[in-house]
Amino acid sequence: MLKFIIKLHPEIIIKSKSVRKRFTLMLERNIKMILRRFDEQVEVKNHWDNIAITSHTTDEAMRLTFIDELMRIPGIEQVIEVTETHFSTLDDIYQSAFPLLRDSLVGKTFCVRVKRQGKHEFTSTEVERYVGGGLNQNIPSASVKLAHPEVTVKIEIKDQRAYIFSQVFRGLGGFPLPTQDDVLSLISGGFDSGVATYHMIRKGARTHFLFFNLGGAAHEIGVKQVSHYLWQQFSSTHKVKFISVDFEPVVAEILENIESGSMGVVLKRMMMRAGSQIAERLNIPALVTGESIGQVSSQTLVNLSVIDRVTETLILRPLIHLDKQEIIRTARAIGTLEMAEAMPEYCGVISKKPNVKTKLESIVAEEQKFDFDILNTVVANAKVMDIRDIEVEAKQEVKEAESVSALPPGAVVLDIRSPEEEDAAPLELDGIAVKHLPFFRLATQFGDLPQDVEYYLYCQKGVMSQLQALILHEKGFNNVKVYKPAKNQA
């Protein structure tokens, strides 16, 4: 049996009783939605100050899946793996604790900490002394150390049940989805927009994706990969939209008619205009960007002020005070770093001498040279899709990328998973060559491979391999198919 205690993010605990109730009910619902994808019989119970999860499975793979999924649900501060025991005496608690903790205390200093709820004939301190004394006596190499021990044994007692902590995992924190209003994130596929999106999801805002396409089909595919990943990792409990706008005509008009030093600010103002129109159409009250003070010329305080004045829509900038290295560290932690590194830069316009202190009146004068029918047309033609359809679209678009479950002799499988995924579960096939080439290096390094063989792309769920096959086909590589083992097929 698996049992976990979910600790709420501290900011949930300090809310008023009605708000806290609403937040915890949402969190309970989200946990059920996620875990019942793997175990339809899992029990999730809301105990006000925590949420208890019980599954009758004993499968180790399921245990690891539960932990991984729970650590990525907004609103969870800690995921505590526990053993629950009913007791009559203090010795009952000790007898349950000893076999669970014995191996982890060998050669270590430790202390016992107890929290207690309910009416009992003993105090928390008496439990600590009884259990700690028993462990110290029966594990010769362990020793009690009350200040700064190597291991802290935690036990929580509620009425006649004791919960013995075996492992504690750090959760995502933040607020459950969707406790805040919806937002529309301007996603480019780079470091900043991905991290900004993550922060808004973590804060409990259902976050939709708005992509201004400056680089054609390959750019859109890459951004769809990043967007689908962020949604799948952190907010798959709720449907969101992915909106794509062909912004190349807008860029062309800016390059043709706008003074060089003002082009960057004008481009951002055009994006905010378009974003505001789309947000209003979808009844979304705020835009989100990955801008940070001083990172580029359009992100000085003066230029940001000029950009903001183009719309009355609220513009949120969760990264506004962060350094680039702080943003990159977060990108690495959430798994978007390598995708962002592989994303080509599509900056749209490049000024030799960009103005870092533009004046609103001069920008307004420059924009009078712009044909706003072009902007209105690209907004009207924006493509809106359900984020879940990215996987479906990938399978439909890559018609040439035949999926096979049986490999022919001489085939070469390209395992395009990230290095971490490949290390955790290496792909080994009898009689078939397997080469690891991460998806974020595939576009630049595939051409260096011998082209007289058939290559079969492999990833865990088949989505990334389908999308990457499309990119390679568009580049003229027709010797690419998708390997999808029968056990992974839907």
pLDDT, tens digit (0-9, with 9 covering 90-100), for 321-375: 999 999 999 999 999 988 888 776 655 566 668 899 999 999 999 999 999 999 9
Q: Is 186 annotated as a binding residue?
A: yes
Instruction: Give the model's confidence band at 473: pLDDT under 50 very low, under 70 low, under 90 confident, else very high.
Output: confident
Q: Quote the CA–CA distance of 24 and 171 in Å, as a whole number.
A: 15
478: pLDDT strictly greater than 90: no
417: pLDDT strictly greater than 90: no
Q: Is 268 annotated as a binding residue?
A: yes
Q: Is 277 annotated as a binding residue?
A: no
Residue 319 CB partners (closer than 8 Å, separation 6+)? 192, 195, 196, 199, 290, 291, 292, 327
Say which amino acid occupies 324: K
Q: Is 471 annotated as a binding residue?
A: no
Contact present, 334 and 195 (Cβ < 8 Å): yes
What's the pLDDT at 97? 93
239: pLDDT strictly greater than 80: yes
The stretch 161-182 carries a mean pLDDT of 94
Q: Quote the CA–CA distance of 56 and 26 in Å, as a whole number.
A: 24
Instruction: Give the model's confidence band at 203: pLDDT under 50 very low, under 70 low, under 90 confident, else very high.
Output: very high
Q: Quote the CA–CA distance of 173 and 171 in Å, as a whole number.
A: 6
Pairing of strands 433-436, 455-458: unpaired
Instruction: Give the model's confidence band at 460: pLDDT under 50 very low, under 70 low, under 90 confident, else very high.
Output: confident
Question: Does residue 237 sit in helix, strand or coil?
Answer: coil
Contact present, 187 and 118 (Cβ < 8 Å): no
Half-sphere exposure of 299 (CA within 13 A, CB side): 15
Of residues 345 and 27, the one with the higher pLDDT is 27
| Global pTM value | 0.78
Distance of CA 359 to the CA centre of its chain: 38
What are the strands, taking DSSP E only, across 187-302? 205-213, 241-246, 286-288
Question: Does residue 125 sit in helix, strand or coil?
Answer: helix
What's the pLDDT at 366? 95
Write out 262-294 in H/E/C secondary structure.
HHHHHHHHHHHHHHHHHHHHCCCCEEECCCCCC
Q: Is 241 annotated as a binding residue?
A: no
Contact present, 272 and 310 (Cβ < 8 Å): yes
What's the pLDDT at 349? 62
- Catalytic residue positions, numbered: 459
- As a whole number, the mean pLDDT across the chain is 90
Q: Quote the CA–CA distance of 146 and 144 in Å, as a whole number.
A: 6
What's the pLDDT at 442? 79
Instruction: Give the model's confidence band at 445: pLDDT under 50 very low, under 70 low, under 90 confident, else very high.
Output: confident
- As given in the structure block, the two tokens for residue 148 are 């700064």
In degrees and rounded to multiples of 5, residue 171 shows phi and psi of: -90, -175
Say which amino acid occupies 363: I
